[in-house]
Structure 1
């Protein structure tokens, strides 16, 4: 694509993978310094981030580590920050993570 007039257009045309609610582990530290570890559903994975389904809200800008468990002994870790946390009608939260490009 040679026209780079809009990052929004690039985002919509970039690769997206429906994760079919695959369970992932997330790890984050709260404002009191306590580390939390939770198993939640990953809804969507794209070049720039992930969409997660969680039973609790996470504050915007919270650093989060996402761990994908594989069938073998290795794990894949991704690092990002909470971009949004939107309460859904069912009471759960749709968490949008933007991936850290430096990690």
Structure 2
């Protein structure tokens, strides 16, 4: 579940960056995955402002948002969300099988 939540939050960050791409002085954000505490209990996504010194060299939107980076990150977050959903589905199927065996 934490994988679903973290990837959904990442998609939201990239949507926000893309929506504000042409906004002057907008500071785009970047999400970083972190291991949840206690260790082994999942993943979280922390959000911080992007370093604009690298974005200034790109010469992209007025905000410093790089469209290619935002699209790539969105695809990665979507794939992570889909994978997390498949893991939950597989775990649910295994649990159902275990319950049927014991019945």
- Greater percentage in strand: 1
Name the larger-Rg structure. 2
Could you say whether these structures have the same fold, taking a TM-score greater than 0.5 normalized by the shorter chain as the test?
no
